[in-house]
Structure 1
């Protein structure tokens, strides 16, 4: 198949799915997407669970066509698995790359979710594990030993990207054949994500195992066959609705891709729970191997991603521009708050200087235009690289956040200005976003003209 494999989802079955979703949202600054009620008979056909009834909500990260999915099954009730170990057969350790390792660890500690051990590795390559509120292990990576050259972040202002899953399997070669030859993931030759020295990070010091690293374009799947301790099989009567990481999903960009991949999977020995279901929003089916691993196959149609949970539920506005100047030159104009009105419809005036930098973190500015008066505050500040701000009052919005990212390029500086918010008036998000898109598209062009004119003098 010409299109590279893409993993588009990791799904959880939770006792409190929206509580667990909030934890991941708060801990890793992921964005809420939509939520839905799934009901029979389609759930029975797709998930293979008789009369399955569940609530479901999603989160999105920095990448395109990816989500974390959180189920709570109303029928049948999920069985708790409080004694689960990372060596037990199943999907076990979720890996998330974070842009600011120290801030993320600090945030986790403040939330009462202290890491299991001290971080490992030198600065720039650190990693550490934490248990989420339902006992699933999450590994934080400052960077990955494997690159993702074909993946461009669609929301680079989001500080976290879900990158990997560790899977305990009973037979490494058998699972290699299934996930690689049947489902189409690629073997990472000489690639290493973990070795036995990492086992203490998730509470298995001295464990011995064999490992194999597979990948899609955007995601790593590490297969592990434990030798010591001996892996426990799925619990008697296990169903994917039981507490834990349920499965991963392979995402396809077209119906033809889905159909071709599904046929290959079935011809290769996968057992689907039924015929693929197409409800217009998406085409989907869960398939299973002989060892009980569930994998979802999904074609979610892009125009309906807001329904299927692949778009944030916020109103979202982005504008980008290339400026023929250095990041320092752009930064100087961009952060001169009192002269913002020279290049933007919105005029600003600093009313409270920042804590250590009079323009930086903690700075409050009054912004006015179109009869609106808004109080904004700088909440993140990395000189010459990025800053973020929020609305403290006014504007008719809530949960507002603006991010300005500067990226040096060979021909100047790339500026991305994104903003997201929820409207106070129901249904007001889309028209407000369209208006702001137009206003700030003009603003970034005027900013470009001002910076380049100053440089030419």
Structure 2
């Protein structure tokens, strides 16, 4: 079978205007649309059991079939990230983005008043540094693009930034590899994205952990089982109405291929938030996937724009300076 793509990175933000400004002005992601949602179906898909309401922001970089999706829930009200949260706590926890202009990116970040967590370090001749997203709450790694950075990042859109990896802290590394690799179908690779020394970048200096790397399309998934410090388990009430890194979606353009993931997950004894057919194009969420969430999504080419996978034309128009004050 062809490995599925990691097609969507789903995050909860407490300030969508600031979030859009951050990812567009600092990194160069393009807005791909926004939605205001309030429906029973949304509440069921997200696993709330009742009505669901949210404002949603879509953004894209240069890669095909890769989308940043930012949520701010109003029904139920979005819950803030716990003050004691650490990036080794169980669940999706970190994001890596490559940029060709590392120095200029840091200058734009500083202009927004956002500090980095450490000074930059050099890995294989390329620089890396993290900041904590003030609206989502997670560490985001800025990675200098270059030949020595693992992976291949296509240029489907005429944009610069690319998502390199998503990271998830797991309770059992072998179980997580068996799920995301053996059941979901992501490709396991003998690649090292980070040494133990690089844990300092997101505030876990001297951490001891085991890691595995999988790939979905052009994005790596870095699985980490932390021994010291041990990650806190997911709370029993950890649902998708929270701030932070909620989940990722995996899938294909062809719904029939995505259906294979759905069927394998069902065969493994896991369930879905809504009882849609396996070939359902829209998103659906797995319940209880290895102590964290996961989503499937199909993105046929004909609905790419409607689903927020293409840059959207600017909504605001600024009149030329010589037009100000003129009438008639």
Could you say if the C-alpha distance between residues 307 and 88 of structure 1 is closer, same or farther in structure 2, counting changes exceeding 3 Å? same
**Residue pair 2:120, 2:128 contacting (<8 A) in 1 also:** yes
> Aligned to 1:308, what secondary structure does the other structure show?
coil
Q: Aligned pairs, how many?
A: 315
Partner of 1:173: 174
Structure 2 residue 162 is matched with structure 1 residue 147: no
Q: CA separation in 2, counterparts of 1:225 and 1:269?
A: 23
* 1:146 Cα deviation after fit: 2.1
> Aligned to 2:235, what secondary structure does the other structure show?
coil
Partner of 2:218: 218
**Residue pair 1:276, 1:283 contacting (<8 A) in 2 also:** no
* Deviation by residue 1:258-313 (Cα, 9 ceiling, x = unmatched): 22221112112332112237999x43211134533111100123222222111111
Q: CA separation in 1, counterparts of 2:123 and 2:228?
A: 28
Deviates more, 1:70-79 or 1:138-147: 138-147
Structure 2 residue 117 is matched with structure 1 residue 116: yes
Partner of 1:35: 34
What does residue range 363-402 of structure 1 map to in structure 2 within 5 Å? 393=320
Structure 1-normalised TM-score? Answer: 0.65
* Deviation by residue 1:147-197 (Cα, 9 ceiling, x = unmatched): 22xx53112x412101211111111111111110111011112x1111210
Deviates more, 1:94-103 or 1:289-298: 289-298
Partner of 1:138: 140
Q: CA separation in 1, counterparts of 2:100 and 2:282?
A: 34
Which one has the largest radius of gyration? 1
Q: CA separation in 2, counterparts of 1:234 and 1:213?
A: 22
**Residue pair 2:252, 2:258 contacting (<8 A) in 1 also:** yes
Q: CA separation in 2, counterparts of 1:300 and 1:188?
A: 25
Partner of 2:263: 263
Could you say if the C-alpha distance between residues 279 and 268 of structure 1 is closer, same or farther in structure 2, counting changes exceeding 3 Å? closer
Could you say if the C-alpha distance between residues 311 and 133 of structure 1 is closer, same or farther in structure 2, counting changes exceeding 3 Å? same
* Deviation by residue 1:220-268 (Cα, 9 ceiling, x = unmatched): 0000011111211113422121110110011311121122221112112
* 1:123 Cα deviation after fit: 8.1
* 1:200 Cα deviation after fit: 1.0
RCO higher in structure (CA 8 A, sep ≥6)? 2
Partner of 1:53: 53
Partner of 1:125: 126
Unaligned 5+ runs, structure 1: 316-390, 397-457
Structure 2 residue 310 is matched with structure 1 residue 308: no
* Deviation by residue 1:374-424 (Cα, 9 ceiling, x = unmatched): xxxxxxxxxxxxxxxxx994899xxxxxxxxxxxxxxxxxxxxxxxxxxxx
**Residue pair 2:9, 2:247 contacting (<8 A) in 1 also:** yes
Unaligned 5+ runs, structure 2: 324-328
Could you say if the C-alpha distance between residues 208 and 122 of structure 1 is closer, same or farther in structure 2, counting changes exceeding 3 Å? closer
> Aligned to 1:39, what secondary structure does the other structure show?
strand
Q: CA separation in 2, counterparts of 1:122 and 1:230?
A: 26
What does residue range 226-265 of structure 1 map to in structure 2 within 5 Å? 226-265=226-265
Structure 2-normalised TM-score? Answer: 0.89
RMSD: 2.4
